[in-house]
Amino acid sequence: MNDVAPNAKKGSSAFGRYFFVLLLGLVIGAFGAVYALNALSSNPQSQFQQGSMHVMGWNMGQLKQNVAAAKCSASDSIPRIQAINVMARDLESAFPKYADDAAFVKAATDLRTSSNNALMAAPQTCDGVSQAMRNIGLSCEGCHSKFKD
């Protein structure tokens, strides 16, 4: 019995130290997260960047859901593609640090072209919508592969 008690005590104080370090890590992490969120929400430029990307992402998601639900009429798809096309016009203003980078401008132009083409084609079938999504998706990836971390 006498041997067990000191060990248990030793174990529990080691546990206490680890627990303290764990807690400290959580507190520092929480402060870091709050700081990062503040930095994001208080910076209009980064709100614009993320906002435009999220709008495009959401509309791509809607197109995907439409295809899954076999809702592929022009009135289902055109507003989604238009939203992407409109966002694509302002990519250089959203990312001023890349506005003079020829590769970025080309990638942005690619998206304007693929979304324009999709609007002109005005797909009325799910195959057509899927094809438009593939072309638009390639434009998204063309930029992300170079400019998104």
Which of 145, 57, 139, 149 has its CA nearest to residue 106? Answer: 139
Task: State in angstroms the smallest separation of the CB of 72 from ligand HEC.
Answer: 18
Does residue 48 belong to the site contacting ligand HEC (CB under 6 A)? no
Within residues 6-45, the interface with ligand HEC by CB under 6 A covers none
Does residue 140 belong to the site contacting ligand HEC (CB under 6 A)? yes
Whether 122 and 78 have beta carbons less than 8 Å apart is answered as yes
Distance CA 13, CA 137 (A): 55
Among 72, 81, 91, 126, binds ligand HEC (CB under 6 A): 91
Does residue 147 belong to the site contacting ligand HEC (CB under 6 A)? yes
Whether 94 and 43 have beta carbons less than 8 Å apart is answered as no
Task: State in angstroms the smallest separation of the CB of 95 from ligand HEC.
Answer: 6
